Chain A
Amino acid sequence: MSMLNVGRPTRPDTAGESTGHASLSGGRALLQDEGLLFEVGGWEKTGVDLDETPGFDESDLGGLVRDDLRLPGLSEPEAVRHYVRLSQKNHAIDLALYPLGSCTMKHNPRLNEKMARLPGFADLHPLQPTSTTQGALELMDRLAHWLKTLTGMPAVALTPKAGAHGELCGLLAIKAAHEAAGQGHRRRVLVPTSAHGTNPATAAFVGYSVTEIAQTDDGRVDLSDLAAKLSDDVAAIMVTNPNTCGLFERDILEISRLTHEAGAYFYCDGANFNAIVGRVRPGDLGVDAMHINLHKTFSTPHGGGGPGAGPVVLSQALAAFAPAPWVVHDGEGLRLEEETAGEAAQAFGRMSAFHGQMGMFVRAYAYMRSHGADGLRQVAEDAVLNANYLKARLSVAMSPAFPEGPCMHEALFDDSWLEGTGITTLDFAKAMIDEGFHPMTMYFPLVVHGAMLIEPTETESKQELDRFVHALLGLAEAAKAGDVERFKGAPFLAPLRRLDETQAARKPKLTWRPEPTGVAPAPLAAE
């Protein structure tokens, strides 16, 4: 028995079943089988050479020394192999089109990575005297200038660590502004039915109740429903624009006018800013607060789920309530306003321990400088062009949810074209995996049945788009021809077949534990 199979349910003789040929090792050519760290590591092993501490004295430790820490270690070559083998089981934007709608999976420039690792940024402590961090503060100040200029907004809070954290920041500023104006009774937020889940979750988080706004047949906010629901207990509306159907809210100026007339603020979810960056300023649309996902529009890598960064631009009405800290100019240079006192007394508080996601600021700034005002405008145009191209070409076989008029940066399809085939959106998505593409966003937005939301971004070439279209049209043809097997069992060619998510949730196994005998697996390899 292979050592790598200690404690594992893997059956090597079935690993190649779907291709009709099984390997003996459990691996498949370039794709190696790899056990858990706890199975491949050594319990006494370390891959780091450290100083020795002869005669270690415990007398200053308050009698609190532990003796129960058991974690496996790997030598450097073993560690490299472990993680390289695992990495090869991931899809990535560097490999192929990654059309997750609303996620903006664009190319992540490597210059940004190099710049973020300059010692003056990466090896800088957040609490050094500001006399030793002037370059970092200047970078934050320049980033702020770009964000304010691109959005046409007078202020920006840089500290939120991700989009949802930015939403929280925006709503807390709104709450503080209402309270300062004696409007603390406003505790309701209006959110369209097509909104991201973070919108209602954030509103609930700050103690607001959520009322949904209906959508029109052409995928926009229903103005009459909005007008009917705006009242003197509404604190804010939260509208994504372009919205999650990939459409620009044509009545956006009327939406902001009605909102402001009712004494409420307009929070814009900026997740889809990539569609309009360099071309349209949210400040011109009447927005009071909007988060900007630097990991979407400004190309910082998603990293398998983070870190992100979610600076929030604010209108004049909300600017004074921005959280600490922020960069200020004084006579001698730049400094940080870190306390919510004195001139900053209206600030609503602090979003996190330090000054925000500096590593992401450097990357985003390098990206903005590279593109410039002209390049960013071209980003929006190409993103919208690519999405409309996919919409046009895929519409011959698939059903666009809103066929009339152009979409913005993403194209939304429903599942009506699969009717009668016995194939669902999920099946179709899983079959895309076998074709080498990451599935699109599925079943979101909730307002469209069996939704398939496709966002190609501007960093895809026409060739890659055509390759994608070819694969999807081929699958569509197979679906309509009754080749149900291709979909129902998919994926067949991925590292694993479909995973049993129900079992995972019913009896959650969230950590590796030694076998029930209480005995750890035998030490492996050279030990």
Chain B
Amino acid sequence: MRYLPLTPDDRAEMLGVIGAATIDDLFRDVPEAARPADLFDLPLHAGELEVERELSALSAKNRAAGAGPFFLGAGAYKHHVPATVDHIIQRSEFLTSYTPYQPEIAQGTLQVLFEFQTQVAALTGLDVANASMYDGSTATAEAVMMAQRVTRREKAVLSGGLHPHYASTTQTIAHAEGMEIVRLPAAVDAEAAVIEAIDAETACVVVQTPNVFGVVTDVSKIAEAAHAAGALLIVVTTEAVSYGLMKSPGAMGADIAVAEGQSIGNALNFGGPYVGLFACREKLVRQMPGRLCGETVDAEGRRGYVLTLSTREQHIRREKATSNICTNSGLCALAFSIHLSLLGGAGLSQLARVNHSRARELRDALAGVAGVEVLTPRFFNELAIKTSVPAAQLADELAAEGILAGVPFSRLDPAGGMDDVLLVCATETNTSQDIAALAAALSRKLAR
């Protein structure tokens, strides 16, 4: 039991100091009926080697994304993360510290959060950002509820281009709060349709760009329509690398921008932990959920950072809080911030250009395959393609051949009526050989 420092002698001596005869004396408030004498029916303790063997065997049963040609996106992206990032986030002082409630001995974490907030505000083109949310989907739900607080209206309109799992998460969480969620039908170029759905009851419209089908959209017109009706525009982005190239949500009139930040600094991790980005206009900041770090001075006038505006939060406001959130995604936010510091604005722009170039190469290769129709007209690094056989079947068959070809849209939305749509993605990690291998495999499958 290598994680337990007390020796039997320590325990005996400590019981003596306490004045207890046995350890059971300390558990005497537990009802007798709920104190089983036997150990629970689970294996006994195991050494490092044994645990490592078991987990390595489980890991080996999975096909890692890096094991071959890989084209999945749809909310989680395979990017190269510099080795420095994972090294720094494992430093004891970042890895094993708590939420920075004692600012005098947490300036490391606090300054990182202040830098992170500034980076996120710059990426999204908005004034302020919080210190992170759980992930992009829960950040979307929180943004919708924030719009309810700001506008005192109950209806949210979700675009048909919003990631279906984001829409379901928002529906589950915001509906519980009593909001009416209008989810428009899934469609590749769905964004313009939201304008017609805005009315005087609408608290917000939620639009994703690049959307789940990869389409990039100028949302300025939607912003105008939303604002004319007194509603807020929430812009969602699942691929944060796109901020390096695409016009920012703020520049197109968004009031709130939320994003999945996994792409920058964080591994795929089978879906989590990820890091939600959340930014808004300055005038809305007091309705914002989550933690905020702000600049101040210490007793000697030196610059320092603290968690601030905590009167919005659950530990102060309890049932009147803006959100119930407590833990956020601190270490993932740190990874994001380190990677982005290494990239800089210039590096992120170039990374985005490389991604788009690879996606163009992918588009050109797939457009030449008989039985494939490229559906996405304008894109960053993702595309929707229509295939002449069901996409789920195709993805399974290609996986058996060692090619992870994409995400069948039916996996995200089985009732969406798009069983023949496959979502594919290219990043800087895809080589020309990968792309050629996918195109060749598709030609073979679709030709039969």
Once bound together, how far apart are the Cα atoms of A387 and B19, in whole Å?
13
Q: Which residues from B are CB-within-8-Å of A201?
A: 314, 317-319, 321, 323-324
Question: Would you call B436 an interface residue if the criterion is a C-beta within 8 Å of the partner chain's C-beta atoms?
Answer: no
Contacting chain B: which of A63-71, A221-229, A476-484? A63-71
Question: B56–A118 contact, CB under 8 A?
Answer: yes
Question: Would you call B351 an interface residue if the criterion is a C-beta within 8 Å of the partner chain's C-beta atoms?
Answer: yes
4 nearest A-B pairs in the assembled complex, by CB-CB distance: A73-B344, A354-B271, A349-B172, A303-B331
| Interface positions of A from 204 to 236, Cβ below 8 Å from B | 204-207, 210
Expressed in whole angstroms, the minimum distance between the Cβ of B38 and any Cβ of chain A is 9
Expressed in whole angstroms, the minimum distance between the Cβ of B145 and any Cβ of chain A is 8
Write out, one digit per residue, whether chain A residues 87-131 have a CB within 8 A of any chain B CB (1) or not (0).
111111111001010010101110101111111111111111101
Question: A379–B327 contact, CB under 8 A?
Answer: no
Known contacts A46-B346, A339-B414, A504-B295; is-contact A37 B63 (Cβ 8 Å): no
Interface residues of chain A: helix, strand, loop or mixed (majority) = loop
Q: Which residues from B are CB-within-8-Å of A86?
A: 107-108, 111-112
Known contacts A122-B268, A462-B14; is-contact A41 B327 (Cβ 8 Å): no
Q: Which residues from B are CB-within-8-Å of A68?
A: 125, 248, 251
Question: Would you call A311 an interface residue if the criterion is a C-beta within 8 Å of the partner chain's C-beta atoms?
Answer: no
Once bound together, how far apart are the Cα atoms of A68 and B84, in whole Å?
27
Question: Would you call B97 an interface residue if the criterion is a C-beta within 8 Å of the partner chain's C-beta atoms?
Answer: yes
Contacting chain B: which of A52-60, A258-266, A412-420? A52-60
Question: A353–B137 contact, CB under 8 A?
Answer: yes
Question: A204–B319 contact, CB under 8 A?
Answer: yes
Question: Would you call B213 an interface residue if the criterion is a C-beta within 8 Å of the partner chain's C-beta atoms?
Answer: no
Q: Which residues from A are CB-within-8-Å of B386?
A: none
Q: Which residues from A are CB-within-8-Å of B363?
A: 60
Once bound together, how far apart are the Cα atoms of A63 and B25, in whole Å?
73
Once bound together, how far apart are the Cα atoms of A232 and B113, in whole Å?
46
Which of B10, B103, B122, B310 is in CB contact (< 8 Å) with A71?
A: B122
Expressed in whole angstroms, the minimum distance between the Cβ of A410 and any Cβ of chain B is 13
Contacting chain A: which of B199-207, B227-235, B298-306? B298-306
Question: A348–B172 contact, CB under 8 A?
Answer: yes
Which of B75, B218, B271, B275 is in CB contact (< 8 Å) with A358?
A: B271
Question: Would you call B155 an interface residue if the criterion is a C-beta within 8 Å of the partner chain's C-beta atoms?
Answer: no
Once bound together, how far apart are the Cα atoms of A400 and B275, in whole Å?
40
Write out, one digit per residue, whether chain A residues 463-500 have a CB within 8 A of any chain B CB (1) or not (0).
01000000000000000000000000101001111111
Question: Would you call B151 an interface residue if the criterion is a C-beta within 8 Å of the partner chain's C-beta atoms?
Answer: no
Question: B45–A370 contact, CB under 8 A?
Answer: yes
Once bound together, how far apart are the Cα atoms of A133 and B87, in whole Å?
27
Known contacts A253-B33, A353-B163, A370-B51; is-contact A47 B3 (Cβ 8 Å): no
Which of B176, B300, B334 is in CB contact (< 8 Å) with A206?
A: B176
Expressed in whole angstroms, the minimum distance between the Cβ of A289 and any Cβ of chain B is 15
Expressed in whole angstroms, the minimum distance between the Cβ of B179 and any Cβ of chain A is 10
Known contacts A71-B345, A127-B407, A375-B4; is-contact A48 B98 (Cβ 8 Å): no
Q: Which residues from B are CB-within-8-Å of A301?
A: 95-96, 331
Once bound together, how far apart are the Cα atoms of A45 and B251, in whole Å?
24
Q: Which residues from B are CB-within-8-Å of A408?
A: 26, 29
Q: Which residues from A are CB-within-8-Å of B388?
A: none
Write out, one digit per residue, whether chain B residues 235-278 have a CB within 8 A of any chain A CB (1) or not (0).
00000000111111001000000001000000111111101000
Expressed in whole angstroms, the minimum distance between the Cβ of A453 and any Cβ of chain B is 13
Question: Would you call B343 an interface residue if the criterion is a C-beta within 8 Å of the partner chain's C-beta atoms?
Answer: yes
Expressed in whole angstroms, the minimum distance between the Cβ of A498 and any Cβ of chain B is 5
Q: Which residues from A are CB-within-8-Å of B57?
A: 135
Question: Would you call A21 an interface residue if the criterion is a C-beta within 8 Å of the partner chain's C-beta atoms?
Answer: no
Write out, one digit per residue, whether chain B residues 116-146 have a CB within 8 A of any chain A CB (1) or not (0).
0111011101011101101111100000000
Question: Would you call B447 an interface residue if the criterion is a C-beta within 8 Å of the partner chain's C-beta atoms?
Answer: no
Q: Which residues from B are CB-within-8-Å of A42?
A: 344
Once bound together, how far apart are the Cα atoms of A50 and B347, in whole Å?
8
| Interface positions of A from 284 to 329, Cβ below 8 Å from B | 284-285, 295, 299, 301-309, 323
Residue of A at shortest CB range from B273? A307
Q: Which residues from A are CB-within-8-Å of B321?
A: 197, 201, 204
Question: A87–B4 contact, CB under 8 A?
Answer: no
Question: Would you call A345 an interface residue if the criterion is a C-beta within 8 Å of the partner chain's C-beta atoms?
Answer: no
Known contacts A50-B347, A53-B353, A381-B23; is-contact A501 B296 (Cβ 8 Å): yes
Question: B331–A304 contact, CB under 8 A?
Answer: yes
Which of B27, B135, B296 is in CB contact (< 8 Å) with A161?
A: B135
Q: Which residues from A are CB-within-8-Å of B147?
A: none
Question: A496–B84 contact, CB under 8 A?
Answer: no
Q: Which residues from B are CB-within-8-Å of A73?
A: 341-347
Question: A204–B399 contact, CB under 8 A?
Answer: no
Once bound together, how far apart are the Cα atoms of A129 and B408, in whole Å?
10
